[in-house]
Structure formats: C-alpha cells, structure tokens
Amino acid sequence: MWPSPGESAHANGLPKKQGARPLRFWREDAAPQVQVARTHCRSSISESIISSPSVTHPAMQNVSASTPMSNSPRTLLTPSFNGYPSPFRHDVLESLERIFRSSPNGQLSKRWREYHGCNYWSGLLSPLDPDLKAEIVKYGDLVQATYDAFDNKDSETRGHCIYKEQELLEKAGLSGTGYTVTKYIYATSDIHLLPKWMERSIGRSEGRHETAWIGFIAVATDAREIARLGRRDIVIVWRGTVTQCEWLEDVDGTMVQPGDSFMVDESLPSTSSSQQQKQKQQLHDGSHHHLDCEAVGVERGFLTLYTTRNGDAASTHGHLSACKQVRDELKRLMNLYKDEKDSELSITITGHSLGGALALMSAYDITEHSVVEKDVPVSVISFAAPRVGNAAFKARLEQAGVKVLRVVNTNDMVPKVPGILVHEESPLPGSSPSTQALARHDRHYSWSTYVHAGVELRLNNYFSPFLKKNVNMVGSHNLQLYLHLVDGYRSSSMPFVCVSAERHRQIKPFPSQIIGNKQHECSPHTREKIRVCMRFMKRDIALVNKESALLVDDLHVENNWHEKHIPKPSPRLSPLPPKKEPQRNHFNNFMRYLPQSHFEDISHSIFV
C-alpha cells in the first residue's frame, strides 16, 4: 500500500520522487493521441473535499484539487476533461495506481519471448499485463492504419493505398513506433470460386478478378525500439473486409483442402497454367473423392483471396498472389538480418476481421513451407477474427510452434462464423441412439467442423461506461471499439477498469433523460464512474467515434468526425444541469408567494 500522509515514501522502499505511470513507447511523440494532465489524488475518502473548478475554455483543461491534504501528494496521469474530479477512492484504485506506476516502462528485452507468446501468454492475460496491453494496442494501431489509408472511393486510385510506403506510418501518426514499411501486399478476389447459387443471384457466371491493397510488411529499424523489444520484429499487417468482392469471398464458407494451392508456379501465365485451372475446378466443386480426416481443411474464400493472382494485363499489382508476395519479402528480410549478432528475429502477424483470417493463413504458409527458419518465433495477434480451418489446421499450427492470441468481443458475431451452428463446441453425432443415422457421416462431420486456434482474450463492450448500451452488430465489430476495450480491460472479473462484472450486472439501466435540447443517457452513478475510469485510460476516448457513433452523448464527442474531415474532438464530461421546475401561471405564482396570514384573511372574508 502507499504510505500514509505522515509517513515517508523513501522509508518504505519507494523512490522519493513519485512520477506518473510511464508511457509504453520509447519517446513521448510515439503516442500522440493521448492527452494527459497531472492531478492530485486523495488518500482516503474522508479527506476528499474538492471545490468546483472554474471553466473558462470549452476545450480540455487541467483540473486539480483545491487544497492538497498531504505534504507529499501522489500524482498520476489522468486525461484532462471539462468537469469535476471525482472524490471516490477505493482499494481497487490504489492497486491499479501501483500497477501503472511500477510498470518497467515497457522494457520487454528480458522477457520478450513471454510477451511474444512462448508460453501462450500464461499469467499475462488475467490480469492483463500493462506492457502486453500496450503491445496489443500497438499492433491494433498498425491495422487501423490500413483502414485509414485505403482508398475505396470511385477514383483512379481506388483499391490502392493513398500514401507511399515511406510515409504511411507518419501519415497515420505512428512514426514513433520505430517500424519501417518495406512492402505493400495486394490480394486478388476470384469470383469464379463463388458457390453456383450466388453466381446466379448476382448474375455473374463468367467470373471476375479484383486486386486491392490489403496490408503491408514492416520491420523494426530504430535502435531504441529494437533495444526495448529485445529483438528485431518483423510485422505483417492485414486489413479487414472493405470491397464488395472481399465480402463475397467472406461468405464462401465451404471447407476445402489446400492441396497444392501454395505450390502454383506463378511464373507461368494464368491462362496457360493447366495446374491452376485444375486447382480452380477442384476448389469450385468443393468435393474430394478421397477424404482424409487428418487432412488440413480451410475456408475456401480465405484460401482464394490468399493464393489467387490476377492474370489481367491491365493489373499493375495482381501478377503475384498475396502468398507469393509475403514469401518473397520475408525471405529477403531474413537474408538481410540473419547475420546480426546483437538482436534476434521474430515475426508477428496481425489483422482485423478478414485480416485476422489471412494472418492465420499466412502463418500456416510460412511455417509449413519453411519460408522462415524454425528458430524464428512466429506469433499471431488477431482482432475479431473468424474461424479459418478444422482441427487438423489448428494442430498443424501448434506443431509448427505458431502462437495465436485472439482478441474477441463477446457481442461480435464475426468470431462466431463460419460454423455458427456446427463448431468445436458442438456435440458430436452418434453419441446417442437417436443420432445413429448421422454416425455414418461422422467422418466428414468431424473433418468439416470449423475450430478456433490459439488462446482467447475475451472482451465485452457492455461493461464500458463510455459506450452506449444499444451498440449494434456493426458497432461491436469496430476495431477502435476493440482497442478501447483492450485499453480498459483489467481481468475476467473486472472486464473494464474500476467496473466489477458481478456488481455491474446488478445495476438497473438508467432511462435516458431529455434536458433542454440534449439527451442524457448516463445516470449520475455512471457519470461518476466515467470520471474515475478516465484517470486510468491511456488511449484517447475520442478515437472510438472516429468512424462510428458509439460513445455516449454526455462526452460531447462528434460522431464520425474522421469522415466529416474535422479535427479530433476532446472528450469533456460536464455536470448534469439541474432540472427546470415546471412553469406556473401568474395566479399560481401569486398564491405561492402569498403569506399564509394574508391567505387566511382572504379566505375568512370570503367564506364568513
């Protein structure tokens, strides 16, 4: 515990000068989206007598206590906001402040293999280690850069990145991460491989190829970042679904065997490769005469997007498949840095939604076909990733040493597909006499069942006091929402900072109130909880509304501010205005302020 106001901090083994909890990057400009200010914290609730600050500017301001009760008050980083600091103190807050302040400043060099998943992140997920949390958010920001830089408008650059490789991270505000982009990845959708019923429904039987920018490969090049990580990290970043053809590939949930999909000779023209035509027909039929229960099975749409190349002469980036691009660049980087003795190499693959599926596909590819050496660890950190393959696919990843961490929102539907009805937790047929008819198909049933790979970090947007309670299916899949929940996650019993899961379920929902021209959805208890949580949120809350409208209106953050091309707003939580009394007519006002003695005289003169 922290020393009492009369005790010395140095006597208890703590440093004399208590600083704020350190940043997770090696310099301050590496996290430009965080706005913080220093404020004083009370040691007990009885000492918390806080006066109201005078608000002189609509933007975020520094708010501090009027008179510190201790000669050596404790300080912490807290987002500044336009409102009143909370006098609420609790043992949970004391514990959280100790964890934040005693963090080793994000130095991962001594334990980098644990943070990279060598033990499947054992002991780091519940409670969530602050440094692992910062790493997860860092990879999530890299994935968000692919959404921000992708051009999906009707223009000449449609389907491409609007920035060059050298300026992508700088334009995305991630120049301080210490990574350098070395290669853009393009993927080709092949509508030939759609189910026949969908081809008839969209009226396209001749097929269609579409190539789009879907990610990039970057490597840690800054010396300080390499020293902080303890190795030279190569990261492969995959974007989620954006284009219509990618949506059509997502819904193609037929499971197929990869076979020779990764072995196509891409030096041959697409029209003259009989091997490719045979492979396409096999994937299109979705059937295998000699089914092996131990064979690897993956979703056909993901496999198509990863291994297809565009043979159209007009295509400038689709002449190589995404599979071939990843292999060539990894081999080049491995040969470039293999002789370094000062730092080791690691490969981290990350993605959101469809990108999470392609991250697993690429991890399977580079380990199964010996693209990287066996002593180079490979990890996958995915956000809202769907299921990709069967149990044999999962087993092959584990045998290859691939570590997978899946960040999942409970209310998100995408991680539940494909296989929403039949998945790894479904009962096997033939387990009871009533299912003997299905037992004969048990072999094909077990092979075509989709399963998740790796360990899971389960979040729940229901517990965040900053979010609206009516978040729809699209909103629960938002990547910025995921990063917000990761930033506030503490443990399974405390799914959001300062929010207990059991106690939160017992609180009845607060009906929205319309006061003046503004609708307030937060109860006074929730508003007080928001003020407490803002002290421990490192990530800027306004980023949640970057391309959505998920934050409560009481935070005064503009909805979809990125699409409206306006600067990022600053969240400010002002106190609820007092309720206006109902207006009275002149007679009621007269009777209200009329002295009681005069009223008795008037009534006596009337009724007597």
Q: Which residues are catalytic?
A: 353, 412, 477
The CA distance from 344 to 220, in Å, is 12
Structure tokens that stand for 62 in this block: 């520094």
The CA distance from 25 to 540, in Å, is 15
CB 277 within 8 A of CB 192: no
CB 124 within 8 A of CB 489: no
* Omega cis (within 30) before 415: no
DSSP code string of 70-132: SSS-EEEEE---SS-------HHHHHHHHHHHTS-TT--SSSHHHHTTTTTTTTTBTTBPHHH
The CA distance from 393 to 447, in Å, is 10
CB 212 within 8 A of CB 317: no
CB 396 within 8 A of CB 258: no
| Helix spans in 448-567 (H) | 479-488, 501-506, 524-534
How far does the chain reach from its first CA to its final CA, in angstroms? 76
CA atoms within 13 A on the CB side of 190: 26
Instruction: Collapse the DSSP code of 251 into the 3-class scheme (helix H, G, I; strand E, B; otherwise coil) and give the result.
Output: coil
